[in-house]
Structure 1
Amino acid sequence: GVIIACVYCNWIGHQYINAINSIDFDTPLWVQGEVTTLQNTDHRLSKKSTVILRVTHINTSEVSPMLIRVNWYYPKANLRQGQHWQLLVKLKPARGLANQAGFDYQRYLIGQHIVATGYIKPHVNNHWSSGDISLAQHLSLQLEHGDTYHHQWINALMLGHKHALTAVDKQLIRETGTAHLFVISGMHIGVVAAWIALVCHFMVNTGTLLMRRCGIDVASGMPVVTLSMILLGTFAYCELLGFTIPMLRAFTVISLWLVLNYCQVKIGFMHKYILCLVVVCLVFPMSAFNLGFWLSFAAVSAIVLVCHVIIFNTQTWIQKIRAFIGLQIALSILLIPINVLFFQQWLPASIFANLWAIPWVTLILVPLCMLALLINVIALLLPDDLFIFDFAYQGGMALLDQCFAWLLAGLRLFTNLEPVAAVFAPVPISLNVVECLILLLVIITGLMFHRQWYAQILLVWVLVGAIFTIHPHKDRISHDPATRFFDDSATSVPMTLHIMDVGQGSATLLIANNEALVFDVGDDFGDQFNMVDSVLRPFLQQSNITDIRATYISHNDKDHAGGINRLVKAYPLMRVVDEQNGCVKGYQRMFHSVQVKVLWPPLNMPIRTDNDRSCVIQLQIATQRVLITGDIEAFAEAQLVMAHDRGGIDLQSDILIVPHHGSASSSSVAFLQRVAPHHALISAGYMNRYQLPKASILQRYSDANIKVLNTAQVGQISIQFTDNDTIPYTITTQRGSSYSGIWAYRWYQFQ
């Protein structure tokens, strides 16, 4: 069995790799395909539309259907689900940033079977070949142009179209831990299937009773009729929404479970559960890369465990309500280690917010949405003069709108109303895998012996301890300005330098004793994606960094300084050092035993370009030096070389952060001769449009026997400095390289 599983996984992986290798990524391509998913269509705010295309033709040649994710910047037309388009695109393989913490975008793409990402190039021949939109898209547009105030919420719950939710809306469900209720996930499909089953049972039982009164006994054939109606109704709903991967998984599990029950297969509940997991992994093997898939099964496992160890009495309505409250509280406590492990935080509001939201969504909003959807579909199929359906639909939408108003009003109590919002604010917690496992075992032990007084005390201790955990990045920051930045002590502590993978940009962190210096903060593409929230803050939380002493901004280019305002908001006592605030030649500070020295630019010196005004910083770490150069070009390098030759500065450094991402205008021979580094580190985006680093520059480093590492190839680069004179520092990388373990090499090697 193990051998068969390995062979099967290997075959699936090669299928995915072959799909990637069949695409020419060096030149723009003409593709034809269907718009399957809209991920962002409000280009008035974000200046782009993001869609997933199912491609069937590349450069007029038919290919096996494959999924690509593309952005259309400043689009000339609105892309709609179901339309077929011919587009000129520039693609690159499915790829994401590779950092120690943060969202793994590459795993997400693989889990969604997306083989390439890119953007649509402006061209007069970009046009749709079929303007027919899907039924779901038609209904979505009808909602958006309707009179309902909460149309974006109805759109998300009914059709899974979340692009209309605002940043405030998303923050609300994120902080209350109710985001899982507003996505078309396994739980949502399960709730829909349950309501369809309830309606089907009622219809079948009513039909059986009527047939029996007519003298016809059809009871023996009714179970298969009921099963068929449930499966057909669930299939129709999933087909209407486009049968995304999560829907396919959920429909597979529901179908298998119902068939096993219908056939009265004599296996236990746990065996059915494991069988469903095995079948899903066999049918959708790429789902194993999707974090949401494992979180869903973890949640189901938690439900199974709680129901197994806690016997709920559900004979009366009062007992059912008590059982629901007990189940929700137990699940929230049981899922604390999982939230801490994957998201480095716990949401106290999630317990009570879900107690409020789950009944609303499952018992009221979902059936109302299904009823409104059914009425609308019937109205579309029947003649326009049947106003009764329009009247029923409008009445249903008004009721839905009011129900959402009541639901959201309750959720906002946990985020907007003081002091409730302060008590239930998200709690950042940083625990490693072992600590999370220990916490999980403690909670499971408490649940198993929940009737014992000591177990009850244990559970209360876990809950109270989680609620009152100190926020590491706010409450534990030193508030003494005199000691926060000016640290002249020469205390020797372990030092680690991290060059983060931020795509086409730059962000570097120096870590020592739970404190950090930051050098540039990467790009910012808005609330949905920026390097501070996606890369820096997750890494700082995971590393238990309680204080940022200072952030140095080399210059104001967006790929270096784009996220500075977000970082200042997260760390309000942090000092920002740029050219206007001290980052000029002669500036020196101590960070523990590290000397921070600014070599360039001179004060009040006229410099023509912003790149050449970049702040050049040299770090003296024990016997080693690191030179951080920003985007300096030939002029600044020549000035630094002259200053070095005059003895004003010493450029020699062991590690060089390559100037301007390896552009042809930097890294002159004279500059490299003076710096003479052992390692040169490049921060660049994978297959970036500027084609950096340039091949001629890489050859220049090679000719000088300087070892080069590029974040585009190896991901985050970490340098651990030691007191060993023989091996003064060690380098590790997040992706596969000679500096990383075999597991990282195999994981990322296919592209």
Structure 2
Amino acid sequence: MKLLFGIVVAIITLKWWPSIPSIGVVIATLLILIALHRFVSEIVIGAAIGCLIATGAVAIFQHKTDTALTVDVNTTIAGKVGSLFTKENGQTSVIFDVDTVNGRKLTIFETFRARLYWRTELPVKQGQHWSVTARLREPYGRVNEAGFDAETYFLSRHIHSKGSVRSANVLNERVSVRQQLYDTVYKNVAHLDSARFLIALAFGERGMLSSEDWQQLRDSGLAHLMAISGLHIGLAFFFGYTVTRYVFPLIVKRDTHLWIPLVMGLVAACLYAWMAGFSLTTQRALMALLVVSLIRQSGYSASPFSTFFLVLAAVLVFDPLSIFSASFWLSFGAVYALCIMALFRPTAPLEESVIQKVARYVKSLLIMQCVLMIGMLPLMWTWFGGVSLTALFFNVLAVPLISLITVPLILLGLILTPFGASSYVWHAADLSLQPLMSLLGVASFGWLETQGPSTVFPIVVVLLAFVLWLVGFRTIPIAAGVIGLSLFTWKNTQTDTTAWRVDVFDVGHGLAVLIEKEGRAVLYDTGAAWSSGTVAASVIAPVLTQRGSKLDGLILSHGDNDHAGGEAWVTKHLVPQWVRSSENDLGHLACLRGNRWRWQQLEFEVLYPLTLSDRAKNASSCVIKVSDGKHAVLLTGDLPKAQETYLLTQNDDVSADVLIVPHHGSKTSSSEAFINHVNPKAAIASTGRYTPWNLPHPDVVSRYENRGIEWFETGYDGQVRAQFSDKGWRVLSQRNDTEPFWYRKKFGAPKRKE
């Protein structure tokens, strides 16, 4: 067990390694430790084995990524479509398993998985073979302190590149059996109210769920139920095991082959996992079932914790990169909490009535949900920035409903669908979800944001512990430990009253700058908006939530989408007290030269423009100097050279420690005279990679670097923040300073445009 412990610790820390050692060094170290095994702990040897496994997994991932990378040219690739699609939902993001590049057949260690942006009128179906001309790129993502992390997402799902399709032609139109079944089921359920949930539960495909659905599931604490997860794979196992256990004796009268129900349970679980496309969560569930089944068949008596540890080790050895997935931490966190519960589970009476059995079941279910809520609080806090106060209520109702009625009906529907006899079953499954769907509509009040300072959070923990005590789970030391941990992680509200910060978010081509002091913030530009979302929703709101900060004001430099696209979303959801812009808008305060105001002891001075516009463009960018009297930041929007020259002729004090580079580093801005006049110590450019504009321009970067000005670029450095106080100031980047991990360095090395 000590050896396994060392393996687990080594692999589970992979996410935080600063660099990846060479496999040769790891093997040499392991051989030396084995030779000295009499003098070395088994934990250390296990850690060396774990390092070898983790290093090997990373080496394979990087090799596949290197095989895929042809960033500057269009590449012809051939392979198989790995995503499910219907004619109705079309396709934009397609998982493509590549086995041929430019006519060369790849080896098993070179075949890679790409996520392609693909728009075509031709039907794309899972299982089809296509030849595609695409521009492939490294699996990089925007790196901010909060919000969706694409890079860890790609790692956890073994996606080795991303890109866009230029042209494509189908090589083999034959679709997979899973796609055929999906199409048939979709036709049967498309008209049902809960069709999107039935598809998610049957196939693990959640593309039909809207953002509103996800918010309701999050607020109610039921997100784990609305996709094929470990719980559902376990139910499929139980279904196959139970049916076989009762049917098999009717066929075979002898007490032989008692292992067959166990095997049939695993077969049922594998079939259900196949329906989900063998997603990572289902793979982990299958691995867990296999380990538990082997332990049971071996006759070995293992405690809940020993079983948990064996399953954890097996999953990590099978897929070390799974530690980059939130579902990994949440699923094993939940199982660990249940293991703790199992230690204190009372023994069932030898004789009890039906009513007593039902009462014991209800009590056990309530205790389990309380344990999960308290045990999962730190993880929920970390990953989602809050906790559902109604999760206990919704799970007590939903878990039995979905586990005992909905999922069995779905399994039956999947079995009957090929025979054309499943219509009534799907209707019954739809009816079973109706009560839950009605309750989800009122779930929003149950979500509590816990990242910011809140006296409510520790109170909630205490109340949950009290509920555990009431129902008989009298483990006061554990409850006290959880409460202590929660209070310890609760943010300290004491702050340095002189400290303030300016964050330039990694938003691609666009701009979003947050000025924050003592839990209050002003936003300068919102980043872009598109048909399916906004930067404000995906980046700015999560950051504010994580910090527990309140948005007081919004400043829009000008009206272009990449700067002001999220205005409507911000004003509706973040509700700033005021909005300033250089446009004629009755709802906005003016942002004109000469305007000054104080906010949180910071001085805001508007240097440009001179007049308001009906539609403010680059030349009307609102230029603001923010200062605490000792340090200053200059915000410039997309200010062109002509307007820069105007500021210089006015003898304005535009000097600043930090300059937000005008117009993303375009050659139409950042004149030498302007840079000299501002004389910044650091320059921050908000840029995106591989954009049509190829910004920043190399000449502009050279102008800054030749003057010894520290250059930051969000497209490669991620979110950049400047921190100020009466003790001094500094600039840090998310990729290189806050998260200086091996995968950030792998996907963050700048590739300058020459």
Q: Which TM-score applies when normalising by structure 2?
A: 0.83
DSSP 3-state at the match of 2:598: strand
- The corresponding residue for 1:117 is 162
**In structure 1, what is the equivalent of residue 30 of structure 2?**
none
Report the counterpart of residue 146 of structure 2 in structure 1.
101
Residue of structure 2 in register with 1:562 after alignment? 565
Deviates more, 1:245-254 or 1:364-373: 245-254
Q: Counterpart of 2:12?
A: none
Please state how far the C-alpha of 1:196 moved relative to its aligned partner: 1.4
Deviation at 1:442, TM superposition (A): 11
| Aligned match for 2:378, one of 334, 337, 357 | 337
Correspondent of 2:187 among 138, 141, 145: 145
Checking the alignment, whether the CA contact within 8 Å between 1:601 and 1:615 is kept in structure 2 is: yes
Q: Give runs of aligned pairs for residues 516-527 of structure 1, distance below 5 A.
A: 516-526=521-531
Change (3 A) 1:323 1:95: same
Structure 1 counterpart of 2:433, from 404, 424, 432:
404
Partner of 1:750: 746
Q: Distance in 1 between matches of 2:645 and 2:121?
A: 46
Whether contact under 8 Å (1:39, 1:51) holds in the other structure is no
Q: 2:153·2:324 contact (CA, 8 Å) conserved in 1?
A: yes
Which of these residues, 204, 209, 218, is aligned with residue 165 of structure 1? 209
2:112 corresponds to which of 66, 90, 99? 66
Give distance in 1, aligned partners of 2:341 and 2:475.
18
Separation in structure 1 between the aligned mates of residue 62 and residue 610 of structure 2, nearest angstrom: 51
CA 605–164 in structure 1, closer or farther in 2 if over 3 Å, else same: closer
1:260 maps to which of 286, 289, 295: 295
The amino acid that maps onto 2:740 is A
Q: Tell me whether 29-38 or 450-459 shows the greater mean CA deviation.
A: 450-459
Q: In 2, are the aligned partners of 1:337 and 1:440 still within 8 Å (CA)?
A: no
The one-letter code matched in structure 2 to 1:535 is V
CA distance in 2, matches of 1:564, 1:39: 34
Quick check: 1:534 aligned with 2:578?
no
Shift of 1:439: 9.6
CA distance in 2 between partners of 1:173 and 1:236 (Å):
26
1:49 corresponds in structure 2 to 92
Which residue identity is paired with 1:372?
A: G
- Partner residue of 2:624? 617
Q: Determine helix, strand or coil for the equivalent of 2:300.
A: coil
The runs of 5 or more residues in structure 1 that have no matched partner are 380-389, 416-420, 473-490
CA contact (8 A) 2:374 2:464 kept: yes
Q: CA–CA distance in 1 between the matches of 2:425 and 2:234?
A: 23
SS for the counterpart of 2:542 is: helix
Q: Deviations over 1:146-173 (max 9, x none)?
A: 3434322211111112222233333322
Q: Distance in 2 between matches of 1:428 and 1:41?
A: 39
Deviation at 1:449, TM superposition (A): 10
Q: For residues 476-487 of structure 1, what are the structure 2 equivalents within 5 Å?
A: none
Choose the corresponding residue for 2:313, options 261, 266, 278: 278
User: 1:336–1:245: structure 2 CA closer, same or farther, 3 Å change rule?
Assistant: closer
Q: In the TM superposition, what is the alpha-carbon distance from 1:353 to its structure 2 partner?
A: 0.9
Return closer, same or farther for 1:150/1:267 CA change in 2, 3 Å cut-off.
closer
Alpha carbons of 1:329 and 1:172: their partners in 2 closer, same or farther (altered >3 Å)? Answer: same
Q: Show the 5 A alignment for 1:724-739.
A: 724=727, 728-736=728-736
SS in 1 for 2:215: helix
Contact 2:557 2:581 in 1 (8 A): yes
- Deviation for aligned residue 1:296: 0.5
Q: Classify the secondary structure of the residue corresponding to 1:749.
A: helix
Return closer, same or farther for 1:160/1:450 CA change in 2, 3 Å cut-off.
closer
Q: Are the aligned partners of 1:43 and 1:49 in contact in 2 as well (CA < 8 Å)?
A: no
In the alignment, structure 1 residue 304 sits paired with structure 2 residue 348: no
Contact 1:500 1:716 in 2 (8 A): yes
| Cα distance in structure 2, aligned partners of 1:37 and 1:153 | 18
Is the Cα–Cα contact under 8 Å of residues 82 and 137 in structure 1 kept in the other structure?
yes
CA contact (8 A) 1:446 1:458 kept: no
Q: How does 1:584-663 map to 2 (within 5 A)?
A: 584-603=592-611, 610-640=617-647, 644-647=648-651, 649-663=652-666
Q: 1:321 is matched by which residue type in structure 2?
A: V
**C-alpha contact (below 8 Å) 1:309/1:447 kept by paired residues:** no
For residues 410 and 497 of structure 2, the distance between their equivalents in structure 1, rounded to whole angstroms, comes to 63
Q: Deviations over 1:373-404 (max 9, x none)?
A: 11113x2xxxxxxxxxx3x3122122222222
Between the two proteins, the alignment pairs up a number of residues equal to: 676
> Does structure 1 conserve the Cα–Cα contact (< 8 Å) formed by 2:93 and 2:117?
yes
CA contact (8 A) 1:530 1:563 kept: yes
State the match for 2:124 in structure 1. Answer: 79
- Counterpart check, 1:241 vs 2:276: yes
- Letter of the 1:600 counterpart: Y
Quote the Cα distance in structure 1 between the aligned partners of 2:680 and 2:663. Answer: 17
Q: Is the counterpart of residue 207 in structure 1 residue 207 in structure 2?
A: no
Deviation at 1:522, TM superposition (A): 1.4
Q: 1:286 to 1:457 in 2, by over 3 A?
A: closer
Q: Which residue of 1 aligns with 2:176?
A: 134
User: Mapping of 1:475-554 within 5 angstroms?
Assistant: 493-526=498-531, 529-545=533-549, 547-554=550-557
Is the 1:334–1:443 Cα contact (8 Å) retained in structure 2?
A: no
Is the alpha carbon distance of 1:745 and 1:338 closer, same or farther for their aligned partners in structure 2, counting shifts above 3 Å? closer
Correspondence for 2:361: 320
Secondary structure at the aligned position of 2:422 is classed as helix
Q: Which amino acid aligns with 2:449?
A: P
**Deviation per CA, 1:108-147, whole angstroms, max 9, x where unpaired?**
11011111122223x3xx1222222222222322233334
The answer as to whether partners of 2:64 and 2:111 remain within 8 angstroms in 1 is: no
Equivalent-residue separation in structure 1 for 2:87 and 2:305 (angstroms)? 43
Could you tell me how far apart the structure 2 residues matched to 1:333 and 1:326 are? 11
Q: 1:441 to 1:241 in 2, by over 3 A?
A: same
Given that 2:553 and 2:576 are in contact with CA atoms closer than 8 Å, whether structure 1 keeps it comes out as no
1:709 aligns with 2:721: no
Distance, in Å, in 2 between the alignment partners of 1:291 and 1:109 is 12
8 Å CA contact 1:585, 1:598 repeated in 2: yes
* 1:272-319 residue CA offsets vs partner (Å, 9 max, x unmatched): 210110011001111011111111000111112123224264852332
CA–CA distance in structure 2, aligned partners of residues 492 and 151 of structure 1 = 53
Pairwise mapping of residues 211-230 of structure 1 onto structure 2 (< 5 A)?
Answer: 212=253, 217=254, 219-220=255-256, 222-230=257-265
The aligned amino acid for 2:247 is M
Instruction: Provide Cα deviations, 1:228-260, integer angstroms capped at 9, x if missing partner.
Output: 322223223323432222222221111121122
Q: SS of the residue aligned with 2:206?
A: coil
Name whichever of 196-205 and 318-327 sits farther off: 318-327
Counterpart contact for 1:334–1:440, Cα < 8 Å? no
Structure 2 Cα separation of the partners of residues 43 and 372 of structure 1: 22
Q: CA RMSD in A?
A: 3.3
User: What's the counterpart of residue 349 of structure 1?
Assistant: 390
Which residue type is aligned with residue 375 of structure 1? Answer: L
Instruction: Say if 1:573 and 1:520 are closer, same or farther in 2 by CA, change over 3 A.
Output: closer
What is the distance in 2 between the residues matched to 1:590 and 1:239?
61
Over 3 Å counting, the alpha-carbon distance change for 1:361 and 1:443 in structure 2 is closer
Q: Structure 2 vs 1, CA of residues 275 and 494 (structure 1 numbering), >3 Å: closer, same or farther?
A: same
Q: Alignment partner of 1:114: what SS? A: coil
Which string of whole-angstrom CA distances, capped at 9 and with x for unpartnered residues, describes residues 331-362 of structure 1? 22332332223212111121111111111111
Structure 1 residues 196 and 615: CA distance shift in structure 2, 3 A: same
1:52-85 per-residue CA deviation (whole Å, 9 max, x = no partner) reads: 1111122222222211112224x32332222222
Structure 1 residue 96 displacement after superposition: 1.9
Alignment of 1:26-37 (within 5 A): 26-37=72-83
Equivalent position of 1:21 in the other structure: 66
Decide whether aligned partners of structure 1 residues 254 and 438 sit closer, same or farther in structure 2, where only a CA change above 3 A counts: farther
